[in-house]
Structure 1
Amino acid sequence: MDAASNLSCADPEQLGSRYYLERPLGSGAMGQVFEAFDLSLSRKVAVKTLLPECKEEQWVQRFLQEARAAAQLEHPGIIPIHDLGYSADERPYLAMRLVQGETLGAVIQRLADGDEETHRQFSFSRRLQVIARVAEALQFAHDRGVLHRDVKPDNILLGTRDEVVLADWGLAGFSKPEELGPAADPESRATGLSADGQIVGTLGYVAPEQLTGESAGDAHLDVYSLGATMYQLFTLRTPHSQQGTLSDVVGRILTEEVPPADDFLHAHQGRVPRHIAMIIEKATARDPAQRYGSCLQIAAAIQDYLDGEAPAVCICTGTKSLLWRMLRLLDNHPHAFVVGGLLAVLIPVLELILILMLW
């Protein structure tokens, strides 16, 4: 969702007989979100309404598609839908749980601005935990045949109670839309393009195959977008430059690999550790076959890194690689490079001696 600064609630209104719209929270391509009061249950909620200019049937169906997608996904990392209704002018609206907090996009902006408090709060470890929780929510959706198709920082909400929530399922696609019944939107099949050939998703985060319409309609779309989000969270820049014409940007996405995340040195956070960069690199591979096969694999790779687990073991002794652990130390303490370099040479020799002794 975009910032709410362009919205106005100078004339608060009652929506139907149940909701009182209090203040705007954000706006997207087809809807706007308000903080509202549920008169029936006396509680705060978020209400998303369809924009007045989006009355065409295709927009209505896409809005209802969001309700159908989110209604199937009862997960702590996905905002639950409370109610679906229609306003006096027959525009649909959704009532959902209100998450008090901010978007990941807002956090990234403060990090990019060099805000010291934000850099203290969002260490590399905490950033990894955020991505892992989004990955788990996406995996839950994928297991139920739902793709998000618009994963990006502005659609990830960080609540004041430590919630990490994936929002805005308005572009969701279904791997088996026929199971939704005759009301299913023809655009609900989980491909990369809409029925009229328009790009589904946000340009800075879409997978290359979303731009060409060659997507198989599987988890690789969301894997890439989550990887692109992770890339920006760690490097504070999008995977590909957004400068130039639309054609220029699309051309870069289609023909260029994402620059390694550890290529950049930031004044307030240093360089991205190599093993984190490797996770990002695999998630954002241009070829879908080279990416992680699922978001669960991303979450597992992150957890292994956080736990200090080695990605491989010594094939002779079955012990975790001491060399890998030393590289982890260098990731977190780059000033130890000289000592670490010597140890990186000595440790394989010691491992070889151990193997010979056990032979």
Structure 2
Amino acid sequence: MLANTTDRVREEKLRKFNTLWESMAVGKTEKFEADRTRTMRPSTDLASLDASLLLSELPWLTQNQTQIKFAEISLGALIGEGGMGKINQAHQRSVAREVAVKSLHKNTTDPEAILTLLREGWITGRLEHPNIVPIYTLGRASDGQPLIVMKKIAGVSLADLMVDPSVSPRSLGTKQPLDFYIEILAQVCNAVHYAHSRGILHRDIKPENIMVGEFGEVYLLDWGIAVSMEETHEGRLPLAAKITSPAGTPAYMAPEMVNGDGRELSEKTDIFLLGAVLHEILTGEPPNKGDTLFQIMFDAYNAQPPEYSEHVDAQLAAICHRAMHADPAQRYASADALRNALETHLSHRDSLRIGEQSQERLALLREMVTREITAQADADAAEREHSGHAIYRLFGACRFGFEQALQTSPDNAAARRGLQEVLELLVERELQQGAHRAAALLLADLPEPNPALEARLAELTQRNESREREFEGLKRKQFEHSTAVGRRSRSLYAAVLGILLGALAIVSRLALQWAGVSKEPSALLIHSLAILVTTLVPTIIARRALMLNLVNRNLVYLVFISLGFAAFFRGLGLLLELPPSTVMVMEMTGHSAIGLVAALFADRQMLWISGAMGLGALAGGFFPEFAIPALVTSIFVGFTALALGWRRVDRRASLKTRES
């Protein structure tokens, strides 16, 4: 049913075109060429202009003995020629530069040809744009024919480039030919948009009229059949509204160009031609096909949307379809809008390429992670560390690639999926290794949430935090019971106490002897209180260093418990009226017992105190008259030995640390 409807529509269009074709009287004029890449040039609508008068107003530019002595232009070798004229290289004398000169074929006197060349000069002279070849001046040759002096450009046409990209004046490097062609077309869009802003239509945009210079510059050439959309140009520029016959290159024509009614022409006509060039870039041939001019023109008139193979990028195909829509209203609003669509696509293509490279890295990363998991049991710490560094280097490159692809083209779905996959892969790795903090950081960067991974992370986090709390408890317990903590401070503290208490005992004995009360039990109680105060002072000063852990605190507590027992024994001796020697022996025995308990349950170095006090107690028991000197000696020797013992252990530990 659909096929029948399509056939009927085509037959109706063919009937109307036959009528149009008869009105064009094709075959009765040689102006219409069957070559589909040759321009159909209309009869000029400038017939009201006097070609001879216009020529007479132009300056002489080449050597003419009767007209000019010193020629401004010296013609050189032929650069190229076409059906209407030719281009020579030349030298411009006044500014000493090389230029190009466009002129008619020799002995051409046809006023229409003269006016056509002048019109091209007038139009191009109004358009000053980087992508349009600058016109320096118009003038006359020695034979009176018109000349257009323009910038000399060296390069190749887009048509030649599409046949063989290697002829490009500049190396493409890593750039793909398709990208290069689209970049060229985007610059042509700039020139067309500028011309439209000046009210001028080109009407003959095709690869042969696009030149790429040796430094990458792009020019839109051949403005010979351009027309003005504004009546302000009337006089020297033909008005589009007054066009009454087809003009352009049949293989690229828009449907409204075939009708030959200039009132249907608009900026959208040039947009169709730009789309036709893009079509040829994608397919290698113009959009309008046929073996005869009739067939080609009907194909343009019919304007069916082209079909593209699966190898043509879908986004580029959509750009072509919109630019070449049969209805001008459905085409891009401007040449600049088409340029923007092309550049957006180029960015998308760059994004796709970057994403593809990152996909390759992602595949390699998967292999590395799999190998790491397989070899983890047999690998030593160094191998695992090296493997981890390699994985994270590749992960960084892979992630950066996907992020760069998304920055270039935010709608790149493949890059977004790739970023999701690479982050999920590393989250899986960190979860398997039990690194919940690293997994959490990666999981937070996922473009899309992953509830399964989040649940596994929550479970691992809870398990790890429980272990960490247990480990911290063990560490704290180990710290609290370590005799190594504060050993140096304890050593200094013991040395200071040994000196202070020994000195206090000597000074106290001399003072009491001088007062004559050295044998009184009350004097011993006073001395005990003095010892307590003397011990309290350095303890308060060094309290932070001495209270670091449980061992240190217990040792300090034992010191004061021992001093408390001493005061208790001395008070008991005073109460029971015991001899001072007996009290001293009891006191030293108590100190020795407390030191022994401290050695068994806190620090073995406390044996020095226990041993010194035990020996003092024996000496006082056998020799009561030496009980007090025995106490003084035991205090000094015990604390000094304790300080040296701690110091020796501390040095030994430091040496082991340096060796390890």
TM range (shorter): 0.7 to 0.9
- The separation in 2 between residues aligned to 1:208 and 1:134, in whole angstroms, is 22
- The separation in 2 between residues aligned to 1:325 and 1:281, in whole angstroms, is 22
1:233 offset after TM fit, Å?
1.7
1:154 offset after TM fit, Å?
0.9
Higher Cα Rg, which structure:
2
- The separation in 2 between residues aligned to 1:279 and 1:329, in whole angstroms, is 24
- The separation in 1 between residues aligned to 2:185 and 2:191, in whole angstroms, is 10
Aligned-residue RMSD, C-alpha: 3.4
- Structure 1 residues 299, 109: CA separation in 2 closer, same or farther (over 3 Å shift)? same
- Structure 1 residues 329, 34: CA separation in 2 closer, same or farther (over 3 Å shift)? farther
Do residues 210 (structure 1) and 266 (structure 2) align?
no
- Structure 1 residues 277, 112: CA separation in 2 closer, same or farther (over 3 Å shift)? farther
1:53 offset after TM fit, Å?
6.3
Structure 1 stretches lacking a partner, 5+ long: 3-13, 265-270, 311-318, 331-349, 355-359
- The separation in 2 between residues aligned to 1:128 and 1:76, in whole angstroms, is 18
1:326 offset after TM fit, Å?
2.7
- The separation in 1 between residues aligned to 2:177 and 2:186, in whole angstroms, is 14
TM-score normalized with structure 2 length:
0.41
SS of 2:164 mapped into structure 1: helix
Q: What is the match of residue 22 of structure 1?
A: 76
Pick from 305, 321, 331 the counterpart of residue 345 of structure 2: 305
* 1:105-124 mapped onto 2 (5 Å cutoff): 105-110=159-164, 122-124=176-178
- Structure 1 residues 181, 209: CA separation in 2 closer, same or farther (over 3 Å shift)? closer
Pick from 250, 272, 283 the counterpart of residue 312 of structure 2: 272
Q: What is the match of residue 179 of structure 1?
A: 232
Aligned length: 297
- The separation in 2 between residues aligned to 1:352 and 1:204, in whole angstroms, is 53
- The separation in 1 between residues aligned to 2:98 and 2:334, in whole angstroms, is 35
1:157 offset after TM fit, Å?
0.6
Do residues 257 (structure 1) and 307 (structure 2) align?
no
- The separation in 1 between residues aligned to 2:183 and 2:74, in whole angstroms, is 36
1:220 offset after TM fit, Å?
1.2
Q: What is the match of residue 168 of structure 1?
A: 222
TM-score normalized with structure 1 length:
0.73
- Percent of pairs with identical residues: 28
Letter of the structure 2 residue corresponding to residue 236 of structure 1: G
Do residues 325 (structure 1) and 412 (structure 2) align?
yes
1:292 offset after TM fit, Å?
1.1
- The separation in 1 between residues aligned to 2:415 and 2:120, in whole angstroms, is 42
Q: What is the match of residue 19 of structure 2?
A: none
- The separation in 2 between residues aligned to 1:53 and 1:258, in whole angstroms, is 46
Letter of the structure 1 residue corresponding to residue 253 of structure 2: V
- The separation in 2 between residues aligned to 1:165 and 1:78, in whole angstroms, is 5
- Structure 1 residues 142, 69: CA separation in 2 closer, same or farther (over 3 Å shift)? same
Pick from 225, 243, 258 the counterpart of residue 273 of structure 2: 225
Structure with bigger strand share is 1
Larger mean CA deviation between 246-255 and 137-146 belongs to 246-255
1:255 offset after TM fit, Å?
1.5
- Structure 1 residues 27, 274: CA separation in 2 closer, same or farther (over 3 Å shift)? same
Q: What is the match of residue 127 of structure 2?
A: 73
1:209 offset after TM fit, Å?
0.8
- Structure 1 residues 329, 272: CA separation in 2 closer, same or farther (over 3 Å shift)? farther
Larger mean CA deviation between 81-90 and 119-128 belongs to 119-128
Alignment deviations for residues 91-124 of structure 1 (CA, whole Å, 9 cap, x no partner): 11101011111111111222599xxx98976532
- The separation in 1 between residues aligned to 2:107 and 2:449, in whole angstroms, is 70
Pick from 237, 240, 252 the counterpart of residue 288 of structure 2: 240
- The separation in 2 between residues aligned to 1:171 and 1:138, in whole angstroms, is 14
- Structure 1 residues 275, 88: CA separation in 2 closer, same or farther (over 3 Å shift)? same
- The separation in 1 between residues aligned to 2:166 and 2:414, in whole angstroms, is 27
Letter of the structure 2 residue corresponding to residue 189 of structure 1: L
Q: What is the match of residue 294 of structure 1?
A: 334
- Structure 1 residues 305, 289: CA separation in 2 closer, same or farther (over 3 Å shift)? same
Identify the structure with bigger relative contact order (alpha carbons < 8 Å, sequence gap 6+). Answer: 1
8 Å CA contact 1:200–1:210 kept in 2: the answer is: yes
- The separation in 1 between residues aligned to 2:115 and 2:212, in whole angstroms, is 29
Letter of the structure 2 residue corresponding to residue 325 of structure 1: N
1:251 offset after TM fit, Å?
1.4
- Structure 1 residues 352, 61: CA separation in 2 closer, same or farther (over 3 Å shift)? farther
- Structure 1 residues 18, 273: CA separation in 2 closer, same or farther (over 3 Å shift)? same
1:307 offset after TM fit, Å?
2.7
- The separation in 1 between residues aligned to 2:124 and 2:92, in whole angstroms, is 20
SS of 2:138 mapped into structure 1: strand
Q: What is the match of residue 239 of structure 2?
A: 189
Pick from 146, 150, 157 the counterpart of residue 92 of structure 1: 146
- The separation in 1 between residues aligned to 2:213 and 2:287, in whole angstroms, is 26
1:194 offset after TM fit, Å?
4.8
Do residues 146 (structure 1) and 200 (structure 2) align?
yes
